[in-house]
Amino acid sequence: MSNEGRTTRLLPMLSLRGPDASEEIRQIAGSFLWDVVAVDSPEQLQQLLRRGDVRVALIDLRGAMQTAMSWLPAFAREHPCLQLVALVERAQAENVENAAFLHAYFFDICFAPVEPMRLTFSIGHAWTMAGVASMQYADEGCRLAVDETDELVGQSPAMAAVRRTIRRYAVTSLPVLINGPTGTGKELAARSIHRSSVRASQRFIAVNCGALTPNLVQSELFGHEKGAFTGASRRRIGWVEAANGGTLFLDEIGDLPLDTQTSLLRFLQQGEIQRVGGEATIPVDARIIAATHVDLADAVLNGDFREDLYFRLDVLPLAMPSLAHRGPDVLELAQYFLDRFCDELGVKRKRLAPATEAAMLSYDWPGNIRELMNRLRRGIVLADGPTVSLPDLEALRTGEDNAIVTLAEARERADRDAIVTAIAQAGHNVSEAARLLDVSRCTLHRLIRKHGLAIE
């Protein structure tokens, strides 16, 4: 068959294994009029996408699965029309976490060694579907709007561990249970998981369970039919159903009444709900992320929370560290919020006075980030000059004394808290905790001994 008049199509192949890894693909795809362009970094792939009409990209994940998990979610959200095909070893796809990642972000996968007909069929089908996607997003220039707001500010080891955990949790749709004191940013963590997931283009609905009207909790979560009760003049869609396809964040989950806990458990088990006053079951695909500042295990022992629901929710645990245990993060957060609040108020940006910074490092922050934000708003209004002084924030006192800690001491405290947090999130599995902290197992054992932690 003559190739005259047919258009060669551009196929980027991203491989971290070097140029030789793409040569076989180049020969196979070239015979079917694909012009394979080898790239060896996500940045090079981005540059190629800006220059030409690229609809499909082949990603060689052999030996690079974990690396791809760190950058590909955000990349895929930025290029919703681009169809990705993965090249993997068969054993890689048999891992549960890898399988979830492949399912979430790739149009198709091909196994090594490469079968020529299978590869060309896969990328050809992906090319066609890319055209369909481009029509779907035509009004948006083939680019989804991404919420760039991320207030998970801070470079402490504790926050680094939180970010790594969020990236891992984003590739699945399993329930997440976020624990942490009030004001530590549990909702921000939930939003970050949603934004990094395949559900990012769908709705994120946040519900404060403690603020729901006691006698209408069931209706507000699961909806009701017209005439279901006095005042139900029309059908109402509940929050669970409204989150179909997206993520439902249930804050202060421990405040849910026991009868509503039963309905939530049924939804988690069966993926179906029933509106109040209705008989039909309605399938709903919504990811549940719950948060609490209380110990749900204790609530179970006290009979205030269903044990079966607790285990359904606590599939992927995430512990948010208190501000007092994040060391120098408090200064980075303070300046971040100072800049933001000054811009919102339309005043010239201010800085923290040195004495203010020292006091902030030694203060125990019982209200965590929420307290920090409130004090800074007050400080901006009260400050006369370009700096926010200690009196502008009112007295900052620790629970014990006003001793100022050094940066080294603050970092030491943050390191210790990061280790405790990682161990807790890993279920006391030291190897898993070491991976979360991005250190070797031997290094983690040494740090555990250094900080005198009785968790080995």
Range of the domain at 180: 157-319
Residues 165 and 277 in one domain: yes
- CATH of residue 250's domain is 3.40.50.300
Q: What average pLDDT does the segment 128-146 reach?
A: 51
Give residue 279's pLDDT band: very low, low, confident or very high (50, 70, 90): confident
Residues 394 and 443 in one domain: yes
- 270 inside domain: yes
Domain count, the chain: 3
Identify the pLDDT of residue 6. Answer: 43
Q: What average pLDDT does the segment 313-342 reach?
A: 90
Give residue 15's pLDDT band: very low, low, confident or very high (50, 70, 90): confident
Identify the pLDDT of residue 51. Answer: 63
> 9 by DSSP, 3-state: which?
strand
Each residue's pLDDT tens digit, 203-220: 899 988 888 877 788 888
Residues 193 and 255 in one domain: yes
Residue 218: CB atoms within 10 A of its CB come to 21
Asked which of 97-101, 118-122, 301-305, 389-393 is least confident by mean pLDDT, the reply is: 97-101
Residues 130 and 15 in one domain: yes
Question: How many percent of the chain have pLDDT more than 70?
Answer: 86
- 3 inside domain: no
Please name which of 331, 236, 246, 338 lies closest in space to residue 285, comparing C-alpha atoms: 246
Question: Of the candidates 296, 319, 342, which is a domain's last residue?
Answer: 319
Give residue 137's pLDDT band: very low, low, confident or very high (50, 70, 90): very low
Residues 378 and 451 in one domain: yes
Residue 397 in this model has a pLDDT that exceeds 70 = no
Residues 171 and 291 in one domain: yes
Residue at 380: amino acid letter: I
- 151 inside domain: no
Give residue 126's pLDDT band: very low, low, confident or very high (50, 70, 90): confident
Residues 25 and 41 in one domain: yes
Give residue 284's pLDDT band: very low, low, confident or very high (50, 70, 90): very high
Question: Of the candidates 90, 107, 140, which is a domain's last residue?
Answer: 140
CA separation, residue 187 to residues 76, 150, 180, 251 (Å):
23, 11, 11, 8
Question: How many percent of the chain have pLDDT more than 90?
Answer: 21
Q: What average pLDDT does the segment 10-37 reach?
A: 76
Phi, psi for residue 280 in degrees, rounded to 5: -80, 145
Contacts of 365 (CB under 8 A, 6+ apart): 322, 323, 324, 330, 371, 372
Question: Of the candidates 140, 175, 194, which is a domain's last residue?
Answer: 140
Residues 120 and 182 in one domain: no
User: Between 101 and 60, whose confidence is greater?
Assistant: 60
User: Residue 108 corresponds to which tokens in the numbers above?
Assistant: 């198709």
Identify the pLDDT of residue 134. Answer: 59
**Spatial distance between the Cα atoms of 153 and 228, rounded to a whole number of angstroms:** 46
**Spatial distance between the Cα atoms of 258 and 243, rounded to a whole number of angstroms:** 22
Answer positive or negative: Cα dihedral of 157, 163, 166, 170: negative
Q: What average pLDDT does the segment 358-387 reach?
A: 88
Residues 368 and 447 in one domain: yes
Give residue 396's pLDDT band: very low, low, confident or very high (50, 70, 90): low
> 196 by DSSP, 3-state: which?
coil
- CATH of residue 61's domain is 3.40.50.2300
- 4 inside domain: no
Each residue's pLDDT tens digit, 228-250: 887 778 888 888 988 999 999 99
- 1 inside domain: no
Identify the pLDDT of residue 433. Answer: 80
Residues 336 and 310 in one domain: no
- 128 inside domain: yes
Q: What average pLDDT does the segment 57-64 reach?
A: 89
Residue 139 in this model has a pLDDT that exceeds 90 = no
Across the chain, mean pLDDT equals 81
Give residue 144's pLDDT band: very low, low, confident or very high (50, 70, 90): very low
Identify the pLDDT of residue 452. Answer: 63
Asked which of 48-62, 138-152, 277-291, 389-403 is least confident by mean pLDDT, the reply is: 138-152
- 146 inside domain: no
Contacts of 268 (CB under 8 A, 6+ apart): 175, 288, 309, 312, 313
Identify the pLDDT of residue 2. Answer: 41
